[in-house]
């Protein structure tokens, strides 16, 4: 395989060649070995929901087998499959949120987990109606955690809806009957609805999918983000480095990979322990070097400036450098292949969650009740492994970029306050941003999020779309692996204003920000929802009336389907660069890319060519500007 076709990232290309020379297998080799991937699966028309099947029906109406044994049509089969993807994705995010809520529940003044953002805690307390007066802050934390945990399974009523949601949007949800009940309940209900012999109507199935997805974006993910900020601190702007060049030749390298910050936060703290530092020197290393991959990487980068080694496509390649003593993983997006790959080098591949045990990995279950000691134990294993490094197998690419990270909404407001002087607006709000959108200095905003996928040349679509936005005065916010692609490409640097139109350039200079704002991990898409909701409220508009679009140019996971669905349900158009497995159903395709607009004021676009997608995103932004220009 020609490595230049796999990714635009040079470190990736270099390490792919090294892997090949080392005889190590990567995702691209396995993709090639699959030859033709299943066309029925790709179009969503293979059903194996009951054992009368599997039934695969024709993706072409009127031609070939049109129904499964029970009579389910392509529309039924594809819509059920879509709904199950939403359920899978929502459950991953929400279970993550629940886990963080449990960590908040165990926070204590003298424990391993403490309260870092009291202000946010008090804000959140108000949301759940938790009394705070005269209460110890840790009692408040305890009560808030309990209230949030109850939102997962409460028997009556809907989950608590964050205050950033506009009242118009709430009405849209009520009118469409998608205002969700309890978080877990919706996931269970949609699993029920997709059981053999239940929902057999694509419209109804997508409607239920939207309802379920909202428990993720405005529920589980939101809780994950807010509570992480409360416990670990709300991110503030700081500089980071990104790409494989952050792996250090003479240090003990530990890669943190996965999603939940509870363990990685402890690793960050424990890596500073004098005992471990001494141990590292004792084995001949200059120190301990923590680096991150995927969203756990984003979490610790946002809050501590831990360097980013790479994104989803690069998880195997980090090990291929031969210089990684340990890769520590928690949950989600972790290739099972890492276990065997690690054995080809000296790397210890350490799984830590009961929910993500992997055969042939070293499993050290993380115990939050003994978090610090547990983290120390894991680091010790890595340090001791340094002497096993096979120096002839080490080759670390030099590529790395620097950029700014840490743009929580609080951080963004902090930056906007600098603009206030120049425009005389209220400090402490998003008003300067809202006014820039109204005046047209910024034409709009785009959220570029999501994964890598070997169906797409790595990072290429992310970067191409982002650059197109910048050139047209559209400010960009990023999360997840898209954010890491942007970091590697230098787009998080303030120098990236060179790609911007004059309006965006001006805004970046005044606010002292880069034109692409890294807002965090994928659960932190809730920050984007909050931002859009708050700006809409300032302008008295619904979220669907803002010149704002979302894109997941290289998505691959069920979580991304859940995200796309809640983003659209929240009134924001979403551009997918990988076509979801629904095209075998004309009706589901029509609902997602067309009819949804009548329901919720936004829809999906399927567009695999990033240049075309960018054009359409810009066109949509201009179309939506009409409404806010009337405010001028």
CB of 62 to ligand SF4, least distance (A): 18
CB of 433 to ligand XCC, least distance (A): 25
**Which partner from the list ligand XCC, ligand SF4, none does 68 bind, CB cut-off 5 to 8 Å by kind?**
ligand SF4
Residues 469-508 that bind ligand SF4 (CB under 6 A): none
Other CB atoms within 10 A of residue 27 CB: 20
Distances (CA, A) of 456 to 38, 42, 524, 609, 610: 17, 15, 24, 10, 10
Candidate list 16, 18, 26, 68; residue touching ligand SF4; CB under 6 A: 68
Candidate list 69, 126, 131, 631; residue touching ligand SF4; CB under 6 A: 69
**Which partner from the list ligand SF4, ligand XCC, none does 70 bind, CB cut-off 5 to 8 Å by kind?**
ligand SF4
Q: Does 65 bind ligand SF4 (CB under 6 A)?
A: no
CB of 280 to ligand SF4, least distance (A): 55
State how far the Cα of 555 lies from the Cα of 482, in Å rounded to an integer.
9
Hey, CA dihedral for 26, 28, 32, 38, is it positive or negative? Answer: positive
Calculate Rg over the CA atoms of the chain: 24
Number of H helices, E strands in the chain: 26, 16
Residues 524-583 that bind ligand XCC (CB under 6 A): 557, 559
**Which partner from the list ligand SF4, ligand XCC, none does 442 bind, CB cut-off 5 to 8 Å by kind?**
none
Let me know: does 261 contact 300? Beta carbons within 8 Å: yes
The smaller minimum CB distance to ligand SF4, of residues 533 and 581, is found at 581
| Options 47-55, 259-267, 540-548, 553-561: segment touching ligand SF4 (CB under 6 A) | 47-55
Distances (CA, A) of 223 to 87, 139, 239, 441: 18, 18, 26, 34
Q: Does 451 bind ligand XCC (CB under 6 A)?
A: yes
Let me know: does 312 contact 301? Beta carbons within 8 Å: no
340 contact partners, CB below 8 Å, separation of at least 6: 360
The smaller minimum CB distance to ligand XCC, of residues 443 and 488, is found at 488
Candidate list 48, 119, 171, 390; residue touching ligand SF4; CB under 6 A: 48
Q: Does 333 bind ligand XCC (CB under 6 A)?
A: yes
**Which partner from the list ligand SF4, ligand XCC, none does 26 bind, CB cut-off 5 to 8 Å by kind?**
none
Place of tokens 């299943």: 38
State how far the Cα of 53 lies from the Cα of 69, in Å rounded to an integer.
7
The smaller minimum CB distance to ligand XCC, of residues 480 and 515, is found at 480
The smaller minimum CB distance to ligand SF4, of residues 49 and 247, is found at 49
**Which partner from the list ligand SF4, ligand XCC, none does 53 bind, CB cut-off 5 to 8 Å by kind?**
ligand SF4
93 contact partners, CB below 8 Å, separation of at least 6: 216, 220, 221, 224, 522, 523, 559, 562
Let me know: does 461 contact 553? Beta carbons within 8 Å: yes
Q: Does 350 bind ligand XCC (CB under 6 A)?
A: no
**∠ CA 210-212-214, rounded to 5°:** 70
| Listed residue (519, 445, 526, 509) closest to 482, CA to CA | 519
Candidate list 11, 19, 72, 449; residue touching ligand SF4; CB under 6 A: 72
Which residues sit at the interface with ligand XCC, rule CB under 6 A?
259, 294-295, 312, 333, 450-451, 480-481, 521-522, 557, 559
Which residues sit at the interface with ligand SF4, rule CB under 6 A?
47-50, 52-55, 68-70, 72, 77, 196
């Amino acid at each position: 395989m020609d490595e230049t076709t796999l990714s635009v990232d040079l470190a990736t290309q270099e390490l792919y060649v090294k892997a090949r020379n080392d005889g190590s297998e990567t995702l691209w080799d396995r993709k090639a070995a699959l030859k033709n991937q299943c066309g029925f699966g790709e179009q969503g028309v293979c059903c194996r929901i009951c054992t009368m099947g599997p039934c695969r029906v024709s993706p072409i109406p009127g031609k070939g087998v049109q129904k499964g044994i029970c009579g389910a049509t392509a529309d039924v089969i594809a819509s059920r499959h879509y709904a199950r993807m939403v359920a899978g994705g929502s459950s991953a995010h929400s279970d993550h949120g629940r886990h963080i809520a449990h960590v908040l529940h165990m926070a204590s003044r003298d424990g391993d987990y403490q309260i870092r953002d009291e202000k946010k805690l008090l804000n959140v307390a108000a949301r759940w109606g938790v009394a705070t007066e005269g209460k110890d802050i840790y009692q408040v934390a305890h009560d808030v955690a309990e209230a949030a945990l109850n939102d997962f399974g409460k028997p009556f009523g809907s989950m608590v809806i964050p205050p950033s949601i506009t009242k118009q949007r709430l009405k849209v949800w009520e009118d469409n009957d998608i205002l969700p009940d309890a978080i877990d309940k919706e996931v269970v209900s949609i699993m029920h609805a997709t059981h053999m012999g239940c929902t057999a109507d694509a419209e109804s199935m997508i409607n239920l999918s939207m309802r379920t997805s909202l428990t993720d974006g405005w529920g589980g993910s939101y809780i994950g983000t807010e509570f992480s900020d409360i416990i670990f601190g709300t991110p503030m702007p700081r500089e980071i480095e990104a790409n494989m060049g952050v792996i250090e030749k003479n240090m003990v390298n530990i890669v943190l990979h996965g999603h939940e910050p509870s363990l990685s936060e402890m690793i960050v703290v424990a890596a500073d322990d004098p005992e471990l530092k001494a141990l590292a020197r004792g084995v001949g290393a200059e120190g301990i070097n923590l680096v991150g991959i995927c969203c756990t990487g984003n979490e610790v980068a946002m809050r501590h400036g831990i360097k980013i080694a790479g994104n989803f496509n690069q998880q195997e390649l980090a090990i291929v450098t031969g210089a990684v003593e340990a890769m520590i993983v928690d949950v989600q997006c972790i290739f099972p292949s890492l276990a065997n790959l690690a054995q080809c080098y000296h790397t210890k591949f350490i799984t830590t969650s009961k929910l993500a045990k992997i055969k042939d990995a070293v499993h050290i279950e993380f115990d939050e009740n003994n978090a610090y000691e547990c983290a120390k134990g894991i680091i010790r294993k890595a340090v001791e492994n340094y002497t096993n490094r096979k120096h002839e197998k080490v080759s670390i690419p030099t590529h790395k970029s620097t950029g700014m990270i840490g743009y929580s909404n609080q951080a963004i407001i902090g930056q906007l306050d600098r603009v206030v002087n120049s425009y005389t607006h209220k400090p402490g709000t998003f008003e300067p941003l809202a006014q820039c959108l109204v005046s047209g200095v910024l034409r709009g905003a785009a959220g570029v999020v999501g994964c890598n996928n070997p169906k797409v040349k790595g990072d290429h679509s992310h970067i191409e779309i982002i650059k197109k936005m910048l050139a047209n005065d559209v400010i960009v916010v990023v999360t997840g692996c898209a954010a890491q692609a942007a970091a590697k490409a230098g787009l998080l640097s303030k120098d990236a204003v060179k790609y911007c139109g004059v309006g965006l350039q001006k805004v970046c200079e005044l606010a002292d920000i880069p034109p692409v704002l890294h807002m965090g991990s994928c659960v932190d898409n809730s920050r984007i929802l909050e931002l859009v909701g708050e700006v809409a409220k300032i302008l008295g508009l619904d979220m669907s009336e803002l010149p704002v679009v979302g894109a997941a140019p290289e998505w691959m996971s069920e979580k991304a389907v859940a995200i796309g669905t809640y983003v659209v349900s929240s009134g924001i158009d979403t551009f997918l660069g990988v076509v979801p497995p629904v095209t075998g159903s004309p009706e589901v395709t029509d609902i997602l890319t067309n009819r949804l607009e009548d329901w919720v004021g936004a829809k999906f676009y399927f567009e695999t060519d990033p240049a075309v997608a960018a054009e359409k995103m810009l066109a949509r932004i201009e179309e939506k500007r009409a409404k806010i220009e009337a405010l001028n």
